[in-house]
Amino acid sequence: MKVTIVGTGYVGLVTGCCLADSGHTVICVDNDIQKIEAMRRGEVPIYEPGLEDMMHRAQKLNTLSFTTDLAEGVREAQIIFLALPTPPLEDGSADLSAVLAVAGQLGEHLPDSYCLIVNKSTVPVGTAEKVRETIAAKAKTEFDVVSNPEFLREGHAVEDFMEPERVVIGTDNPKAEALMHELYTPFTNDERPIYMTDPRTAELTKYAANTFLVTKISFMNEIAQLSERMGADIDVLRQAIGADSRIGHKFLHPGIGCGGSCFPKDVRALKHMSEEHDYEFKLLTAAMDINDQQQQVLVDKLNTHFNGDIQGKTFALWGLAFKPQTDDIREAPALVIIDRLLAKGAKVIAYDPEAAGNGRAHYKDNQNITVVDDKYQALKNADALLIATEWPEFAAANLVQIKQALKQPVIFDGRNVYQPAKLAKAGFTYYSIGRQAVTPTP
Ligand SMILES: NC(=O)c1ccc[n+]([C@@H]2O[C@H](COP(=O)([O-])OP(=O)(O)OC[C@H]3O[C@@H](n4cnc5c(N)ncnc54)[C@H](O)[C@@H]3O)[C@@H](O)[C@H]2O)c1
């Protein structure tokens, strides 16, 4: 099929590359000219395991191309995916301006024969109807609008697209349903089902999934708070409750809260939608409040350790990305920590295996933070190390080297990367989440 993707970010580029890799002819459209030029040169603008090879393969076969011209991009399209940003507005609602702006342009530029517009952006319930009305105001040819929320996880996006746990498609039209079935057949089977439903259910399903996950994370972080105060072992507790198949092991790791471009914004958007429907969704407010509180926990511990005197001190911070295997720092807990340290007059030397570039760009005007390319270099003469992302290389780091480089052997671990007893034995004062602090054992 001839497929066009509008919006070539984390979702759009992955979708485009995976569909091209499966034999479709794909054109990716984006209004960021620098991004498009870079991709034409074969540069992948984001870090996502497996994506670069896939993109190069498709470019070589001429099944994947890039343009900034929407009219040219959709001229022959049978299916047009919208993978546009829907960031939060001040009141928490999703900003639909990019989606509706593109819908307006599409009305003028639809291909001559029937085409399907598939919305992959996370959008409020009722958006498929809005998009349809916006396009219909100017369209001269037949089209349908389908809701197809995306569930991929950054860091596993390629495998999640190629082998999704499920695909959700919202449409009231059998013709659109048949076309979507055909497109997704190679990626689905009995274990990886397609759920066909109406657009409203599809749109709400995405919010329900993300807000449930945030609630699970916040629940576990509250249990961690109790565990720490009561002297329980959070690691055993986590595994024991996870062994119950009704609970499951995933998303039970206590930490410094969740971030990223989706979870916080989707919780706020669902809360806003609930209010619009005169329903007070209390759990969402609590889940977000707990998450905000949890993002402060590491600096609170650090502040107590240094008796509130952190002005002029230097801290090493490992991990800028909101989670491992991505370069995405949008709403990353690391940024909350860094901002608070800087506000208290401290200096930060940060390291991240993939997100260094985004970190430098984010803090480009701030003299008090440096982002270095080596994790041990970040430690030199630092008063302590903070860990904000559980990159596997941190767990494998050399404790002797860490100890030698730091001014004092103190670690504040926001992701429970190490075992407290091991760190105490290695001569560290070690703070983690949901576990009691340890000091060097003689
Ligand atoms: N990132 C994820 O893990 C993820 C997962 C599931 C769903 N989603 C949802 O998918 C949507 C896209 O998310 P993302 O993370 O890929 O966003 P992104 O910011 O990485 O990418 C969006 C792209 O759209 C482009 N763009 C913006 N306005 C445009 C316009 N008018 N015309 C053409 N291009 C335009 C931007 O330049 C950018 O390249 C959001 O609604 C998000 O909530 C994201």
Q: Model confidence at 258, in pLDDT bands (50, 70, 90)?
A: very high
Q: How does pLDDT run across 140-171, given as a tens digit for each residue?
A: 999 999 999 999 999 999 999 999 999 999 99
Distances (CA, A) of 380 to 135, 315, 402, 403, 409: 57, 10, 9, 10, 12
β-strands 143-147, 314-318: how paired? unpaired
185: nearest Cα among 196, 171, 197: 196
- C-beta 32 within 6 A of ligand 1: yes
Ligand 1 centre to CA of 86 (Å) is 7
Tens of pLDDT, residue by residue over 343-385, are 999 999 999 999 999 999 999 999 999 999 999 999 999 999 9
- Please answer whether residues 242 and 248 qualify as being in contact, where contact means their C-beta atoms are separated by less than 8 angstroms: yes
Contact 352, 321 (CB under 8 A): yes
Structure confidence at residue 85 (pLDDT): 98
- Name the residue at shortest CA distance from atom 41 of ligand 1: 121
Q: Is the CB of 83 under 6 A from ligand 1?
A: yes
Mean pLDDT calculated for residue range 196-220: 98
pLDDT, residue 169, reads 98
Q: Is 82 close to ligand 1, i.e. is its CB under 6 Å away?
A: no
CA-closest residue to ligand 1 atom 18: 9
- Sort strands 384-387 and 410-413 into parallel, antiparallel or unpaired: parallel
Return the sign of the alpha-carbon dihedral for residues 50, 38, 328, 344.
positive
Q: Name the residues annotated as catalytic.
A: 262
Q: What is the pLDDT of residue 442?
A: 84
Q: What is the pLDDT of residues 381-406, one digit of tens each?
A: 999 999 999 999 999 999 999 999 99
Q: CA-based angle 201:110:51, to the nearest 5?
A: 65
**Over pLDDT 90: what percentage of the chain?**
100
Kindly report, residue by residue over 9-18, the tens digit of the pLDDT.
Answer: 999 999 999 9
Q: Taking the CA of residue 51 as centre, how many other CA atoms within 13 Å lie in the half-sphere pointing to its CB?
A: 28
Report the pLDDT value the prediction gives residue 5, as an integer from 0 to 100. Answer: 98
Which residue from 4, 6, 10, 206 has its CB within 8 A of the most atoms of ligand 1, so it is best to mutate?
Answer: 10
Q: Is 101 in the pocket of ligand 1 (CB under 6 A)?
A: yes
pLDDT attached to residue 224: 98
Q: What is the pLDDT of residue 407?
A: 97
Q: What is the pLDDT of residues 73-115, one digit of tens each?
A: 999 999 999 999 999 999 999 999 999 999 999 999 999 999 9
In this predicted structure, the answer to whether residue 414 has a pLDDT above a threshold of 90 is yes
Q: Is the CB of 122 under 6 A from ligand 1?
A: yes
3-state secondary structure of 169: strand
The reported pTM is: 0.96
List all residues 6 or more positions away from 322 whose beta carbon is below 8 Å from its beta carbon. 258, 259, 260, 328, 329, 330, 331, 332, 333, 334, 389
